[in-house]
A and B are shown apart, each in its own frame.
Chain A
Amino acid sequence: MNPLEPRRALVREKIQENRETYSLTLSLADHDHFSYRPGQFNMLGLPGMGEAPFSFSSLHLERGRFTHTIREAGSLTRSICQLAAGDILSIRGPYGNEWPLEKAKGRHLIIVGGGIGIAPLRPVIRHALGNGEEYGRLYFLLGARTEDDLLFREEFEKLTAGRDGTLLMTVDRGEKKELSHIREGLVTALLDEIDVDPEESITFTCGPELMMRFVARQLIQMGQDPYDIFVSMERRMKCGIAHCGHCQIGAMYVCKDGPIFPYGDIKRFADTML
C-alpha cells in the first residue's frame, strides 16, 4: 500500500454557495471502502496542479457520497471549482482527527465559525441539532465579511427554527439592514449575547486564526477552561500523513494530531496567531 497514491473520485453534484465558494458532492470512482468523521479532511488534487487539504462539510456518507465546500483562492481551488458533475479528481484520505463530540455530551455547546471556516463546522451543527437531547443549550455564532459569505445561512435558519439552538450571525459589512438577526461587527461581540455558564460548556471554533484567538481569549476571560475550547487549524500540507513536515506547529502535526486541537495545548507553541 502506498499512502501517497491517490484514488479517483467522481463529482456527483456541484452547488454554488456564493460568488467564490462551491460545494462539491463526490463519491469514490471505484466504490472502495470509505468512511470519515466530522472534522477530518481529504487531500483533493488534479494532475499537474497538485493536492491540498479540504475538510468535509457533510455530516456523514449518504449513498457513498460526501461533500467538500471549497473557496476559490489559488489555481488548484479554482480548477476544482470549475469541475462539473461527472468529472474526475484525485483524492486521498480521510486524514486527521475529529470534533470531540463525545466530550461535549451533557454540556452546552458553543460553535463559533468565521468565513470559509463555517464549512467544517456544518457537520457538527447538523449533528448537534439532530441529537439535541444529548447536549445542553446550543449556540451557533457565525461571522463573515458580507451576508453573501455567510455559508449555509438559509439551511441553518431553517434547521434552528422552532428548535433549541440559538443562531446568531454577524457580518463586517451589512447590506440589508432589515435583517435584524444579522448584526454588524465582530463575531466576538456575539459571545456577550449568549446566556451560558462557560464552565459548563464546550466550544468548537473554526475560522481565521486571529478570530479564533479573540474568541478563545474572551471565553477564557468568561471562565472557560482553555482545554474545553477546540480550534481547527490550517497549515500548508503536502502529504497528510505526518511525513512532509510542512504543517508542524511545535511538536504537533496539524494533519495527524489535528486539525482540531484543544486551545490550551496548541497555544504553547510558537508561530501561531492564537
Chain B
Amino acid sequence: MGTGKRIGIFKYSSCAGCQFQLFYFQHYVLETIQAVDIVYCKMLQSGGEEDGPFDLALIEGAITEQWQADQLKRIRERSELLAPIGSCAVCGGVPAIKNTAHELDAQRRVYEDISVVHSLKAHPVDHYVRVDGYVRGCPPGVRDLAELVKSLLLNKTPRFLDYSVCVECKLEEAICVLVAYQEPCMGPVTNAGCGALCPSRGRACYGCWGPMKDANAKALADRFERMGLGREEIYRRFTEFGEPTVEWKPGQVKP
C-alpha cells in the first residue's frame, strides 16, 4: 500500500556505497518499499522522473562540479524535504581531501590534460542549498535512515543521533584507546551512529562519520600534540573526512 510519498535519489561525487546501503536497508526493512515510492533513482532503474516533484530528495556525494550545484538547486526547489546521505554529502567526506591542495594541483595529479576538467573544491550539500536534516555515516546509518523515512510518513521533525562516538563506545564498555593506549582517536569529535565500530575493536576512530555538532576540535588536536603526534598527522586526521566543516576547522592547523 503506497502512501504516495515520492522519493528521489541523486548521486554526485562519491562511491555509490550510500545507495547500496539504501537498497540493503530496503531489503532489511521490507515495509519501506511499500511505504514510499522511489520515483527517481538511476542506480535502481533507468528513466524515472528526474524533475520531480519530490516529497523527499536524498543526495549522495560531495559537490565537485558546477552542473551538480545547479542541478542540486533545481532539486531543492522541487522537493518538500531534502537530506544529504552519507559523509560525502554531509561533510565533504573523502572527495574533500583534495581541498587541502590547490585545485589545479589536484587536477594535475590525476589528469594529463586538465583542459577538459572543470572541477570545483569539494563541498557538502548544505554549502549550496538548505537541508532538512543529515543522515550521517559512511555508509549512512540504518537508524537515521529509518528515522528520516518514518518522519516523512508521520510528518514530524526527525531526530538524528547527535552525540559523539564515545557514547557508543562507553555502552560497549570498550577500553578507551585514547586514554589507555594513547591512540589518536577521533571519537570525541565524531558523530555517533557506527556503534563505535573501530574503537570497540581496539582501533582509533578516524572520523568517517564526520564531525559532531559543537565538537571541540582544537582541544583534541592539542591533546594529540601533547601525546607526541606530529603536526602533519594531526592535520591529516582532521581533513580526512571533514575538510570543509566548521566543526573541524580549528583542528586543521597546516603543518
- A-side residues, CB < 8 A to B, are 48-49, 74-76, 78-79
Interface Cβ pair total, 8 Å cutoff: 14
Across the A-B interface, the 3 shortest Cβ-Cβ residue pairs = A75-B156, A75-B157, A48-B154
Closest chain A residue, CB of each to CB of B154: A48
Tell me which residues across on chain B come within 8 A of A78, comparing CB atoms.
155
Contact of A74 with B154 in the complex, beta carbons under 8 Å:
no
Assuming A48-B154, A76-B156, A79-B155, what are 11 further A-B pairs, CB within 8 angstroms?
Answer: A48-B150, A48-B156, A49-B154, A49-B156, A74-B157, A75-B154, A75-B155, A75-B156, A75-B157, A78-B155, A79-B156
Docked complex Cα distance between A78 and B156 (Å): 9
Q: How many positions in chain B have a CB within 8 Å of any CB in the partner chain?
A: 5
Tell me which residues across on chain B come within 8 A of A79, comparing CB atoms.
155-156
Q: What's the dominant secondary structure at chain B's contact region?
A: loop
Between A and B, 14 residue pairs with Cβ closer than 8 Å are: A48-B150, A48-B154, A48-B156, A49-B154, A49-B156, A74-B157, A75-B154, A75-B155, A75-B156, A75-B157, A76-B156, A78-B155, A79-B155, A79-B156
Tell me which residues across on chain B come within 8 A of A48, comparing CB atoms.
150, 154, 156
Within 8 A of A (CB), among B117-156: 150, 154-156
Docked complex Cα distance between A48 and B146 (Å): 13
Distance in angstroms from B148 CB to nearest chain A CB is 13
Docked complex Cα distance between A123 and B172 (Å): 50
Docked complex Cα distance between A161 and B150 (Å): 51
Docked complex Cα distance between A134 and B27 (Å): 69
User: CB-CB contacts of B154-174 with A at 8 A, as 1s and 0s?
Assistant: 111100000000000000000
Distance in angstroms from A125 CB to nearest chain B CB is 33
Distance in angstroms from A203 CB to nearest chain B CB is 36
Tell me which residues across on chain A come within 8 A of B154, comparing CB atoms.
48-49, 75
Closest chain A residue, CB of each to CB of B156: A75
Tell me which residues across on chain B come within 8 A of A75, comparing CB atoms.
154-157
Distance in angstroms from A50 CB to nearest chain B CB is 9
Tell me which residues across on chain A come within 8 A of B157, comparing CB atoms.
74-75
Tell me which residues across on chain A come within 8 A of B156, comparing CB atoms.
48-49, 75-76, 79
Docked complex Cα distance between A167 and B155 (Å): 40
Tell me which residues across on chain A come within 8 A of B155, comparing CB atoms.
75, 78-79
Docked complex Cα distance between A76 and B157 (Å): 9
Tell me which residues across on chain A come within 8 A of B150, comparing CB atoms.
48
Docked complex Cα distance between A74 and B156 (Å): 8
Distance in angstroms from B237 CB to nearest chain A CB is 33
Distance in angstroms from A176 CB to nearest chain B CB is 36
Docked complex Cα distance between A49 and B150 (Å): 11
Closest chain B residue, CB of each to CB of A47: B154
Distance in angstroms from B151 CB to nearest chain A CB is 8
Tell me which residues across on chain B come within 8 A of A74, comparing CB atoms.
157
